[in-house]
Structure 1
Amino acid sequence: MNTKYSDLIHQTYYFPQEEFKLEDNELQFHEIDLMALVEKYGAPLKFTYLPKISENIHRAKTWFNNAIKKHNYKGNYNYCYCTKSSHFEHVLNEALKNDIHIETSSAFDVNIVQKLKLTGKITDDTYVICNGFKRDQYITNIANLINKGHKNCIPIIDNYEEIDLLSEEIKAPYKIGIRIASEEEPKFEFYTSRLGIGYKNIVPFYNKKVKENPDVELKMLHFFINTGIRDTSYYWNELNKCLQVYINLKKVCPTLDSLNIGGGFPIKNSLHFEYDYEYMVDEIINQIKLTCEEAEVDTPHIFTEFGSFTVGESGGAIYEILYQKQQNDREKWNMINSSFITTLPDTWAISKKFVMLAINRWNDEYERVLLGGLTCDSDDYYNSEQNTNAIYLPKYKKDKPLYIGFFNTGAYQETIGGFGGLQHCLIPQPKQILIDKDENGNISTRLFSEQQTSEDLLKILGYSPNN
């Protein structure tokens, strides 16, 4: 009878997979010995496997460049990283090894760009695409960047007033893009994105505010939908509407030469995950080319903005099961030594699922459980996997520690969780580990930040240090 946890995984999923395998009944992730990581640093811990960032950038650039070559597409491809997904220096340093560009969304993002310029990580040739609703400090920071010679800084106009605000502070002619306010999926509570300018209003807006303005040059049309790039009728319909706007705009604006198809690729959230990236890229390039050729306009240069796809699959979190509570005849609660609300806030805020697996004890019998966090909040739990509607783990045994891992957690969780700040119920932020691999394949680890202490939190709260 197949009662072991390893039996369950093998009969439920195709396993092992590219990034996961077993070694002596313990899980490895990209050949990282996770139990050795726990033994060295303890749990809970969060980690970032830096080489995965470069790997995913290389994959995307290969798909686009191959499609451009295949279709004889007359335009180039530019990969932008959305800093909002993870602002950490080690993430940007790794990403920028790969000849990419930057997308910002707030004033302080531009301060990061300035730091990166000082260290030579980016140059004036690096595209800095400035998205978001812009006021005050964001406008000033963009203007400072352009005034100091960053010729490829392109603010994306989000509303009717931004050109006037930018022109008040920018001292020389500058480039802009315009963001389309796309229509949201039918299940959304509203019809049109709050960001950008409506489809029908873009050409009139250009004619009124840009066409006769000698200081402003329109270079880019920006298209973004919240669900990302997916093979759905909704996505293809919105892309087609975007292309019609591009064509209409191009016919009256000869300087327009770039299309930014923002909205990222999905990342692996289950061992059942399937997505044909190569097909999607090929079809996007093909659709853009055919539509432009039919309208007799030049095909645009392509920009993408990938945040989660860049950094999401590099991250992971490891917890220890502290205790099991039998709450009724059916529900067993395995209590982790941290909090989902604070360390994986998307599991609480938007019911997001991540790849979750036991780290050790794969040769033990399994049981169905619920996972609970340490806070006194009823919503601090994780109750099902993406494809099984349940969680199964090796049976809890008080004398045999059990560790579990959540994978592909590298996007947004630290910033949404308030890294370095107050945490719900004052549950401390776990230690953070950086993992790298040298050219010979040797893996190295280093501690990026310690687990928060009571002194860290009391200081934030304004309590005087002990005398």
Structure 2
Amino acid sequence: MKTKYIDLIDQTFHFPQEEFKLEDNQLQFHGINLMELIAQYGAPLKFTYLPKISENINRAKYWFKSAIKANNYAGDYSYCYCTKSSHFRHVLNEALKNDIHIETSSAFDIDIVENLKTQGKISSNAYVICNGFKRDQYIQNIARLINKGHRNCIPIIDNYEELDLLSNVINEDFQVGIRIASEEEPKFEFYTSRLGIGYRNIVSFYNNQIKNNPKVKLKMLHFFINTGIRDTAYYWNELLKCLKVYISLKKICPSLDSLNIGGGFPIKNSLAFDYDYQYMINEIVNQIQIACEEARVDVPNIFTEFGSFTVGESGGAIYEVLYQKQQNDREKWNMINSSFITTIPDTWAINKRFVMLPVNRWQDEYERVLLGGLTCDSDDYYNSEQHMNAIYLPKYKKDKPLYIGFFNTGAYQETIGGFGGLQHCLIPQPKHILIDRDENGNLTTEVFAPQQTSEQLLSILGYQKITKEEVVEYSQKETFINPN
């Protein structure tokens, strides 16, 4: 009978896979010896494998190039990175090596753009697509960027007041886009996205506020749905409605030349992940082409905004199983030396799944377990009830340490978890390592952030660090009781 963990994986999935393989009974991720990483830096540990960012950008560029060629499509393609997925400098530096553009969502994003421009990382020709609801500071920052000469900064109008607010502070002519308030899936608690302007109102908005405004040109129509780009009737129906709006606008607005189809490419969340990216892109390009040819309007240039797809598969987290608790005759809890709520909060907040695999002991027998974090919160767990599949891991043995890895965690987890700030139950944030390759393809590592210390957390909380002398002085104070 096959009872080893490797046997379970072999009979369940195709293995090894592109990024995962075994060497000496230990898991490797993109050729990274994870046990060596643990030996050098310890666990818990978070890491970012930077080359994966460039790889995914160039994969998407290739797929769109192939689709454009196959369909004889007359428009161009532009790849934008959504900074909200991960704002870190190392992420932006890696992404910007690949001739891409930027999508922003708040005022401080513009400060990051200006910083990168100063360093020569972003050229003045790069598009900066400004999404989101725009409060005063965001409006001011967008205006500052455009007034300094960045003509390819495109504010995406989210509501009826934004155009006037922008016009009041931008000195010269500028270009804008309009975001469509797409309709949500029937299972949602509401019918229409809170972002953007409704399908039926966009043409009238253009006629009333943009058409006769000599200062403003409409360049882009922006389309995005929460479910992402998936081969469903819902997605194709919403894309078709978007194209009808584009065609209606294009017939009365010659300056409109771009369609932003947003983002939402899924990333690998299990070894059974299967998604045909090239097919989806071919179909999208084909649908746009057919709709525009039938309406006899020029096809638009296509923009995408990929966030999770860009950076998600570059990240990982490694934990050690500290202890096993047998709570009843069926449930075994493997306790990790960190917290799911604080280090990969999407598992707790939106029940998101990631690829989870043991790092070592693949030749050992396996057992079904639940995974628990260190906080005293009952929701700090990762198991089959919150996710689709049961968790099987090599059997816990006190004298044989077990390390487990969560992979493709590179998008959103640090910002949602409050990087550098307070963590639930004051569980310290783990060490974060950057992994790259030099010009010869050799792996290089550096510590981006050490594990949080008690002094850092106490400082955030407002406590003063107490010296040993102050402790002695306090203990020697006499207590006086008022005799009255």
- Residue 23 of structure 1 corresponds to which residue in structure 2? 23
C-alpha deviation, 1:388, in angstroms: 6.1
Confirm or deny that 1:221 pairs with 2:224.
no
- Residue 35 of structure 2 corresponds to which residue in structure 1? 35
Contact 2:351 2:386 in 1 (8 A): no
Q: Distance in 2 between matches of 1:275 and 1:305?
A: 18
Q: Distance in 1 between matches of 2:328 and 2:277?
A: 45
- Residue 182 of structure 2 corresponds to which residue in structure 1? 182
Q: Distance in 1 between matches of 2:140 and 2:440?
A: 45
C-alpha deviation, 1:38, in angstroms: 0.3
What amino acid sits opposite 1:268 in the alignment? Answer: K
Q: Distance in 2 between matches of 1:40 and 1:312?
A: 24
- Residue 327 of structure 2 corresponds to which residue in structure 1? 327
Contact 2:155 2:175 in 1 (8 A): yes
C-alpha deviation, 1:135, in angstroms: 1.0
Q: Distance in 1 between matches of 2:465 and 2:65?
A: 57
Q: Distance in 1 between matches of 2:205 and 2:141?
A: 25
Contact 2:351 2:387 in 1 (8 A): no
- Residue 440 of structure 2 corresponds to which residue in structure 1? 440
Contact 1:227 1:263 in 2 (8 A): no
1:392 alignment partner, SS class:
strand
1:204 alignment partner, SS class:
helix
- Residue 471 of structure 2 corresponds to which residue in structure 1? none
C-alpha deviation, 1:168, in angstroms: 1.0
Q: Distance in 2 between matches of 1:172 and 1:29?
A: 51
Contact 2:352 2:387 in 1 (8 A): no
Unpaired runs of 5+ in structure 1?
none
Q: Distance in 1 between matches of 2:389 and 2:122?
A: 45
- Residue 210 of structure 2 corresponds to which residue in structure 1? 210
- Count matched residues: 467
What amino acid sits opposite 1:207 in the alignment? Answer: N
- Residue 363 of structure 2 corresponds to which residue in structure 1? 363
Contact 1:353 1:385 in 2 (8 A): no
Contact 2:158 2:178 in 1 (8 A): yes
Contact 2:353 2:387 in 1 (8 A): no
2:463 alignment partner, SS class:
coil
- Residue 112 of structure 1 corresponds to which residue in structure 2? 112
C-alpha deviation, 1:111, in angstroms: 0.5
Q: Distance in 1 between matches of 2:231 and 2:269?
A: 17
Q: Distance in 1 between matches of 2:385 and 2:18?
A: 20
C-alpha deviation, 1:389, in angstroms: 2.1
- Residue 427 of structure 2 corresponds to which residue in structure 1? 427
Q: Distance in 2 between matches of 1:160 and 1:230?
A: 30
- Residue 412 of structure 2 corresponds to which residue in structure 1? 412
Confirm or deny that 1:289 pairs with 2:289.
yes
Q: Distance in 2 between matches of 1:384 and 1:53?
A: 30
Q: Deviations over 1:59-118 (max 9, x none)?
A: 000000111111111110000000000000000000000000000000001110000000
Q: Deviations over 1:175-220 (max 9, x none)?
A: 0000000000111100000000000000000000000001111000
Confirm or deny that 1:191 pairs with 2:184.
no
Q: Deviations over 1:273-304 (max 9, x none)?
A: 00000000011001101100100000000000
Confirm or deny that 1:55 pairs with 2:55.
yes
Supply the RMSD in Å over aligned alpha carbons.
0.9
Q: Distance in 2 between matches of 1:292 and 1:464?
A: 66
- Residue 377 of structure 1 corresponds to which residue in structure 2? 377
- Residue 473 of structure 2 corresponds to which residue in structure 1? none
- Residue 276 of structure 1 corresponds to which residue in structure 2? 276
- Residue 78 of structure 1 corresponds to which residue in structure 2? 78
- Residue 302 of structure 2 corresponds to which residue in structure 1? 302
Q: Distance in 2 between matches of 1:422 and 1:183?
A: 37
Q: Deviations over 1:339-372 (max 9, x none)?
A: 0000000000000000000000111110000000
What amino acid sits opposite 1:8 in the alignment? Answer: L
What aligned pairs does 1:101-250 form with structure 2 within 5 A after superposition?
A: 101-250=101-250
Contact 2:357 2:406 in 1 (8 A): yes
Fraction of identical pairs, as percent? 80
Unpaired runs of 5+ in structure 2?
468-484
Contact 1:48 1:433 in 2 (8 A): yes
- Residue 343 of structure 1 corresponds to which residue in structure 2? 343
Contact 1:270 1:386 in 2 (8 A): no
- Residue 91 of structure 1 corresponds to which residue in structure 2? 91
Q: Distance in 2 between matches of 1:388 and 1:53?
A: 28
Normalising by the residue count of structure 2, what TM-score does the alignment of the two structures yield?
A: 0.96
Greater C-alpha Rg: 2
Contact 2:68 2:285 in 1 (8 A): yes
C-alpha deviation, 1:438, in angstroms: 2.1
2:384 alignment partner, SS class:
coil
C-alpha deviation, 1:6, in angstroms: 0.7
Contact 1:4 1:363 in 2 (8 A): yes
Q: Deviations over 1:19-51 (max 9, x none)?
A: 000000000000000000000000000000000
Q: Distance in 2 between matches of 1:147 and 1:466?
A: 50
Q: Distance in 2 between matches of 1:86 and 1:263?
A: 15
Q: Distance in 2 between matches of 1:151 and 1:454?
A: 47
Contact 1:20 1:27 in 2 (8 A): yes
Structure 1 residues 5 and 386: alpha-carbon distance in aligned structure 2, compared to 1, 3 A threshold:
farther
C-alpha deviation, 1:144, in angstroms: 0.2
Q: Distance in 2 between matches of 1:385 and 1:457?
A: 33
Normalising by the residue count of structure 1, what TM-score does the alignment of the two structures yield?
A: 0.99
- Residue 456 of structure 1 corresponds to which residue in structure 2? 456
